[in-house]
Structure 1
């Protein structure tokens, strides 16, 4: 390296400050640069040890040719854009958390009042539905990520809110009118309202239900009909979602045993969404299933129980690896599917936080699979890994 080399590319560092990945171009001798024959990035700590043994105290490092993690590189426009996108995502995710929290608070209040025999007021749910639609239209990924956070104890609340959100997302995908999205959201939030009158010992039983207990569980639809009949201003579409999400195309569902054309589009959608969210939730009697495994079950229920074309549409809408789900990458890292908007299903941005190889949490890293040689190996569930991903959402 000559003295005339651009000093803007080089930085003088003491050997004690060298780290792996730094590109050593020359050694320093009385403030003069002496080129080294084997210039290059430091791959092993032994190289640093050898420099110390030879009495070298300072070296010249080429910032441009050093590895990115060394911190010498200025942020490119792309990096800056990525940073802004991340900040926007964090803001939208905060808004999504607020909406979901408000939804659960409202539903908790209504469940309590319904248990006391009070009629449901639809107006607060209309405002909530509008907020939910706005959030989906603005950034569905943010709401998907937040809704992936679940707890066993709050299942009824979270399931109801998630069903509403999934119905809005699915309806948007099918290009339904905004007024329909609103009515579907309200129906989704209230779809399990009848369970407030079900015996808690049966509702939360950790083991398999007896035939008598299952018949008792099915009564939640009868109770829902009674509650809805006292609710003024609830649209027919919202009522249908409350009363049709357990119907089957072959007529073997309940409470009315409706068949095929008797179940409208929104009713068929609610059947799919209700099952999917239940399968991917942790319950007192089962662990959460990965979305990929849940999709297989949905497909197995076609065409006699679920509408086959709608199931395919739902899978395309949610994505093979839905935002908020956990995946294992080909290098053994586990991460959360973070962003999928505008991407093909197999190449989302993944927020990695755990190593299967090391069996430990690692430094968080965003991996853009469109710009990486890595690929998704499989979808995983938290229970199968015995880890808690919640701090990383």
Structure 2
């Protein structure tokens, strides 16, 4: 038997004695409450909650209901300015992002930022699965630590994210697209508030797929026309979810609405072409496709990153905006962070960080012996910092996990 729950979202400032708080805007862990629920018995209870969170959910079956319009009066987080597409286009290359922290210095902060975005994004997606509305402020709160880390050193966060343990594809895709969108926006020189918007929109690109039958999303073969229509309807589902009080900026909604449009007009849902697709939508098309290609699916293995870049390049001018594909390839570099490569010594290594001055000479971590035996301890090597150029170790070529029998995620877990 399931207990019936009637929840109402209430600002802490609106709480009164007799209300029963059943959920917080944060985890119960780390609070002084022994149980996941508390009856408001005094002003002291309200003051304690005010020191821990901004809003809560109250169960109206176990306590008093908030007075109308208490829910409407709850504070709304700042969701940032609204930009016209022409403004966003003009803001490209308006912001320079020098490396503010060395890779090793940023790495601990990148790990913290990644743990935070995983925790908050998972909670947001879980709440959508449960039928609760999206709060735009929570989405921004989830991605802001990641954006700040990437502003300081993008490679450190991409390295941590690439080695993240994988789980449910919907969650992995949302998190991966969010990081890639911030990285590309940084490379394009967009201002930091727009990086947050990009990361927020990318996190929500496929939120509508939570309303699509999962068996259709995992189907390896072609879909019937009505099944294809159900899958494509995820775009409208996402917009419907955002329309229910999420206060998401219009340009972020436009990004989500157009991430399946294609520059030759072959996309959906509106068959827009060329510059009729807003810039954020054109960016989303690139990063959404790239992350999908480089992720394992039930019906195929993950595509190697360098192969996915080649696929994007072949689609420039038809599926994807040519200049954005080229910018994305520059952003990811010849050997993207997390790529497996073979060195001219026969050893297998993984790319950790780029050297902007010498793209063919990144910093790598050596994983195997020349005979492809996995090393007990992995050593790092900056290919650009070698002294004797004639005897220098260099990359012979990129590898797929299948070619070398290695899964970097498993090695580092």
**Shorter-chain TM-score tier:** 0.7 to 0.9
Structure 2: how far apart are the matches of 1:287 and 1:150? 17
Indicate conservation of the 8 Å contact 2:355/2:363, yes or no: no
Q: Does 1:211 align with 2:224?
A: yes
Q: What per-residue deviation string (whole Å, max 9, x for no partner) do you get for residues 117-156 of structure 1?
A: 3211111222223212110011211111111125553221
Matched residue, 2:405:
386
Indicate conservation of the 8 Å contact 1:329/1:378, yes or no: yes
Q: What per-residue deviation string (whole Å, max 9, x for no partner) do you get for residues 46-95 of structure 1?
A: xxxxxxxxxxxxxxxxxxxxxxxxxxxxxxxxxxxxxxxxx974563333
What secondary structure, in the 3-state scheme, does the structure 2 residue paired with 1:119 have?
coil
Alignment of 1:262-273 (within 5 A): 262-273=276-287
What secondary structure, in the 3-state scheme, does the structure 1 residue paired with 2:208 have?
helix
Indicate conservation of the 8 Å contact 1:320/1:345, yes or no: yes
- Which of 327, 338, 346 is the aligned partner of 1:332? 346
- Which of 234, 238, 259 is the aligned partner of 2:248? 234
Structure 2: how far apart are the matches of 1:344 and 1:338? 14
Structure 1: how far apart are the matches of 2:368 and 2:299? 27
- The Cα RMSD (Å) is 2.1
- Which of 142, 160, 164 is the aligned partner of 2:174? 160
Indicate conservation of the 8 Å contact 2:117/2:145, yes or no: no
Matched residue, 1:177:
191
Structure 1: how far apart are the matches of 2:366 and 2:141? 36
CA separation of 1:132/1:292 partners in 2, compared to 1, >3 Å: closer, same or farther? same
Which stretch of the first structure deviates more once superposed, 96-105 or 249-258? 96-105
What secondary structure, in the 3-state scheme, does the structure 1 residue paired with 2:328 have?
helix
Indicate conservation of the 8 Å contact 2:255/2:281, yes or no: yes
Larger radius of gyration: 1
CA shift, 1:105, in A, is 2.6
Indicate conservation of the 8 Å contact 2:355/2:384, yes or no: no
Give ranges in structure 2 of 5+ residues lacking alignment: 1-100, 387-391
Indicate conservation of the 8 Å contact 1:347/1:368, yes or no: yes
- Which of 358, 379, 383 is the aligned partner of 1:344? 358
Give ranges in structure 1 of 5+ residues lacking alignment: 1-86
Q: What per-residue deviation string (whole Å, max 9, x for no partner) do you get for residues 325-377 of structure 1?
A: 21111111111111214442100111001135244435422222124411111
CA separation of 1:316/1:131 partners in 2, compared to 1, >3 Å: closer, same or farther? same
Structure 2: how far apart are the matches of 1:255 and 1:215? 10
Matched residue, 2:129:
115
Matched residue, 1:314:
328
TM-score by length of 1: 0.73
TM-score by length of 2: 0.69
Which stretch of the first structure deviates more once superposed, 270-279 or 215-224? 215-224
Which stretch of the first structure deviates more once superposed, 94-103 or 228-237? 94-103
Matched residue, 1:244:
258
Structure 2: how far apart are the matches of 1:308 and 1:132? 27
Q: What per-residue deviation string (whole Å, max 9, x for no partner) do you get for residues 152-208 of structure 1?
A: 532211211121111111111111122211111110111111011111222233x22
Matched residue, 1:375:
394
Structure 2: how far apart are the matches of 1:115 and 1:268? 27
Q: Which has the higher helix share?
A: 1
Alignment of 1:1-393 (within 5 A): 89-90=103-104, 92-150=106-164, 153-205=167-219, 207-212=220-225, 213-355=227-369, 357-361=371-375, 363-372=377-386, 373-390=392-409, 391-392=411-412
Indicate conservation of the 8 Å contact 2:263/2:274, yes or no: yes
